[in-house]
């Protein structure tokens, strides 16, 4: 592996083409100035929204244009910075985009309070009088739904102006985690010295040499341990920020505040935790099987990622991964496949890790251009599934952007994780169907069980951690490093059971999870996985009819509430059943693997 290459050393065919957003930074600068001008022009509507339907339409159209352009500016700056976080040019552009976004939010902050101040009968008349307002019916309905939690125009402006300060914990964590934090080097299974990085960590944890796994695990957490007080302060202040918004906007709890935007009842969150906790016996069986197949007297936390099936070396270069993904997603139809293939060939994906590149993977992109995918591709099966996952997001974005106006083009995360996981499920079904090698089939089963462990069990554990720490702060209890580690340790004990050694280092895992800076976010991975399991089975069982339902779901973007969108795709998340169905599949897969390895 050696040292990471510099950005300029990565061949162009493996880089995304951000020039499709702005061909040059000068064009970004031009739009930056334009946004400032447009934000000033919006001020001309202040105090006038109740005067006429035409005026109301005018401000909604102006807001839409402004939001679309500021998104383009912000996405470009952030994605350029993500290429190489140490680049001062794009650090500066991102900071400027952040500040501009805050000033735009402040400029637009009068709109919602003024709309809410329009008498109900007058607003109804406006909507009947002006046909063009039909475009904004769902927007207006959403504004009215938020009425009990919307403040006066002056108060909303104050909150908007505080945006940069409020985002400080998240921004500080990102710079510590992606730019400043470094990890020790270890010796790999061949005795060569390699630097532990975010991108390499999972690959090292999958290594068949237990010494390498243990050293990588210790190396990673040794760096976080040195910063535990700083990182406890950042996460504590992030939670305090959530509680501040909760109280200012008059929500009962931080959970209800976070779920309200998706119109999700708290029972969905509570059902997830309760249902997963009610099925932990299968996780304990999985842990026992892992211990048995690895032939270990003691199973440790650093043994959870290495394949349980021995003597399977499965190196998958990027080009082969692309071919596998295309074949695996063939059930979604030729049109879906052709659009995806075109994107893969024309600069949608940034493939390999380089120095100071943002870790992990994501899909993003501004309206009116096309989606992008950030990868840190390693030549392994996990990266193949990550590529399929992120392309699910990308294709959801593609269809949504193509079919919806800007105001409805952005789907909620609750539904986004369905699209990504449908892709993974279909790819897994394809690979299990074509694989004839017993060990590789076992390896795939191992991978699929790991997906359940990581996405349903682990993300639910994360969700419960978020619930507990928010409740602590709401009760006035300080989140010290010791308390955070104590809470996190107990959850690991509960979720993994008595068959594994809960190493001391894992107590600090809370310090490295970026998603904890987005309140009550991770539960959507578990609910999305469950919904996607149902949809993918429908596609494989029913064919074209189910595909059409699914593609219609993708095309609807954010034009309805997430639970209603999922109902159109044939899934009802208001009951525990989809989660239980997914856990039942986990149990069946586990039984298959237990039988094959008996």
Is the residue at 152 inside a domain?
A: yes
pLDDT at 164: 85
In this structure, is residue 248 part of a structural domain?
no
Say if residues 66 and 104 touch (Cβ distance below 8 Å).
Answer: yes
The residue among 307 and 403 whose pLDDT is bigger is 403
Instruction: Provide DSSP, 103-167.
Output: HHHHHHTTHHHHHHHS-HHHHHHHHHH-GGGGGGHHHHHHHHHTGGG---HHHHHHHHHTHHHHT
The rounded percent of the chain whose pLDDT value lies above 70 is 100
Looking at residue 152, its pLDDT comes to 87
In a domain? residue 477: no
| Closest by CA position to 564, among listed 141, 189, 159 | 141
In this structure, the number of other CB atoms found within 10 A of the CB of residue 86 comes to: 14
Is the model more confident about 381 or about 281? Answer: 281
If pLDDT is split at 50, 70 and 90, which confidence band does 598 have? confident
Identify the weakest region by mean pLDDT among 135-144, 185-194, 309-318, 508-517. Answer: 309-318
310-332 residue pLDDT tens: 777 889 999 999 999 999 999 99
Q: Is 490 exposed, middle or buried (0-12, 13-18, 19+ CB in 10 A)?
A: middle
Rounded to whole angstroms, the Cα distance separating 514 from 173 reads: 8
Distance CA 141, CA 147 (A): 10
DSSP string for 316-381? --HHHHHHHHHHHTGGG-HHHHHHHHHHHHTT-EE-S--TTPPPS-EEE--TTS--EEE----SSH
Q: What is the CATH number of the domain that holds 159?
A: 1.20.140.70
User: Considering only 31-40, 293-302, 359-368, 446-455, which range has the smallest mean pLDDT?
Assistant: 446-455
pLDDT tops 90 at residue 27: yes
At 157 the pLDDT is: 87
The total of other beta-carbon atoms located within 10 Å of residue 189's CB is 13
Residues assigned a catalytic role: 390
Hey, is 22 helix, strand or coil? Answer: coil
170-194 pLDDT, tens per residue?
Answer: 999 999 999 899 999 999 999 999 9
Say what the pLDDT of residue 199 is. Answer: 85
Check if the beta carbon of residue 123 is closer than 8 Å to that of residue 241: no
Number of CB atoms found within 10 A of residue 183's CB: 18
What length does the chain have? 598
Question: Would you say 474 and 243 are in contact if contact means Cβ atoms under 8 Å apart?
Answer: yes
Average pLDDT for 418-441:
92
Separation in Å, CA 433 to CA 23, 30, 241, 308, 437:
44, 53, 48, 20, 11
The residue segments making up the domain with residue 37 are: 7-166
pLDDT, tens digit (0-9, with 9 covering 90-100), for 265-309: 999 999 999 999 999 999 999 999 999 999 999 999 999 999 898
Residue 412 lies in a domain: no
- What is the distance between the alpha carbons of residues 489 and 138, in angstroms, rounded to a whole number? 44
To 5 degrees, how large is the angle CA 381–CA 429–CA 316? 20
Q: What is the DSSP letter of 30?
A: H
Say if 284 falls within a structural domain.
Answer: no
Is residue 30 assigned to a domain?
A: yes
Q: Cβ distance 7 to 357 under 8 Å?
A: yes
pLDDT digits (tens, 9 = 90+) for 42-54: 999 999 999 999 9
In three-state secondary structure terms, 434 is helix
pTM of structure:
0.80
Residue 108, domain member (yes or no): yes
Candidates 229, 134, 126; CA nearest to 176 is 229
Least-confidence region, from 1-5, 131-135, 214-218, 427-431: 1-5
Q: How confident is the model at residue 439 (pLDDT cuts 50, 70, 90)?
A: confident
Angle at 447 between CA 486 and CA 521, to 5 degrees: 45
Task: Give the pLDDT confidence score for residue 417 in this predicted structure.
Answer: 86
Is position 137 within any domain?
yes
Decide: 529 and 389 in contact? Cβ < 8 Å.
no
Whether 365 and 400 have beta carbons less than 8 Å apart is answered as: no
Q: Which helix (H) or strand (E) holds 363?
A: strand 362-364
pLDDT per residue as tens digits for the range 226-254: 999 999 999 999 999 999 999 999 999 99
- Where residue 413 falls among pLDDT bands split at 50, 70, 90? confident
Region for 22 from its dihedrals, namely left if φ exceeds 0, alpha if ψ lies in -120 to 50, beta otherwise = beta
Domains of the chain: total? 1
Q: What is the pLDDT of residue 1?
A: 52
What is the chain's mean pLDDT, rounded?
A: 95
């Amino acid at each position: 592996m050696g040292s990471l290459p510099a950005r300029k050393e990565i061949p162009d065919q493996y880089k995304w083409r951000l020039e499709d957003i702005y061909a040059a930074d000068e064009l970004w600068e031009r739009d930056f100035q334009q946004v400032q001008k447009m934000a000033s022009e919006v001020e001309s509507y202040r105090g006038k929204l109740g005067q006429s339907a035409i005026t109301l339409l005018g401000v909604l159209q102006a807001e839409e244009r402004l939001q679309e352009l500021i998104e383009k500016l912000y996405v470009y700056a952030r994605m350029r910075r993500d290429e190489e976080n140490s680049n001062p040019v794009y650090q500066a552009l991102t900071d400027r985009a952040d500040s501009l976004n805050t000033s735009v939010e402040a400029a637009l902050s009068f709109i919602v309070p003024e709309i809410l101040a329009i008498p109900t009968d007058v607003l109804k008349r406006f909507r009947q009088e002006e046909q063009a307002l039909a475009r904004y019916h769902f927007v207006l309905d959403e504004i009215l739904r938020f009425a009990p939690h919307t403040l006066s125009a002056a108060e909303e402006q104050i909150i908007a102006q505080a945006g940069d300060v409020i985002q400080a914990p998240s921004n500080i964590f990102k710079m510590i985690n992606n730019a400043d934090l470094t990890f020790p080097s270890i010796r790999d299974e061949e005795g060569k010295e390699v630097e532990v990085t975010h991108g390499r960590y999972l690959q090292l944890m999958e290594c068949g040499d237990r010494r390498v796994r243990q050293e990588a695990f210790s190396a990673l957490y040794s760096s976080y341990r040195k910063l535990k007080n700083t990182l406890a302060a950042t996460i504590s202040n992030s939670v305090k920020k959530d509680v501040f918004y909760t109280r200012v906007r008059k929500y009962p709890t931080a959970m209800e505040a976070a779920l309200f935007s998706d119109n999700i009842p708290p029972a969905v969150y509570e059902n997830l935790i309760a249902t997963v906790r009610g099925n932990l016996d299968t996780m304990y069986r999985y842990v026992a099987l892992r211990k048995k197949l690895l032939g270990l007297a003691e199973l440790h936390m650093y043994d959870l990622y290495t394949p349980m099936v021995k003597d399977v070396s499965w190196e998958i270069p990027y080009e082969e991964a692309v071919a596998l993904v295309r074949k695996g997603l063939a059930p979604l139809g030729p049109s879906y496949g052709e659009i995806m293939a075109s994107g893969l060939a024309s600069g949608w994906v940034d493939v390999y890790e380089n120095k100071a590149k943002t870790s992990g993977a994501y899909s993003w992109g501004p309206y009116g251009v096309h989606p992008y995918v950030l990868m840190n591709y390693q030549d392994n099966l996990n990266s193949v599934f990550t590529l399929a996952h992120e392309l699910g997001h990308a294709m959801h974005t593609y269809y949504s952007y193509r079919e919806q106006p800007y105001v409805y083009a952005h789907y909620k995360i609750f539904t986004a994780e369905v699209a990504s996981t449908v892709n993974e499920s279909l790819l897994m079904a394809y690979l299990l169907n074509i694989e004839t090698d017993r060990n590789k089939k076992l390896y795939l089963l191992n991978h699929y069980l790991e997906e359940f462990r990581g996405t349903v069990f682990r993300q639910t554990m994360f969700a419960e951690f978020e619930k507990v720490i928010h409740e602590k702060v709401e009760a006035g209890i300080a989140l010290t490093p010791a308390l955070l580690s104590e809470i996190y340790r107990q959850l690991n004990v509960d979720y993994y059971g008595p068959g594994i050694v809960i190493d001391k280092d894992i107590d600090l895992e809370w310090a490295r999870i970026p998603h904890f800076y987005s309140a009550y976010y991770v539960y959507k991975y578990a609910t999305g996985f469950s919904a996607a399991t149902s949809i993918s089975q429908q596609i494989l069982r029913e064919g074209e009819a189910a595909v059409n339902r699914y593609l219609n779901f993708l095309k609807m973007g954010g034009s309805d509430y997430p639970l209603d969108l999922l109902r159109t795709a044939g899934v009802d998340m208001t009951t525990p059943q989809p989660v239980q169905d997914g856990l039942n599949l986990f149990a069946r897969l586990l039984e298959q693997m237990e039988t094959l390895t008996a």
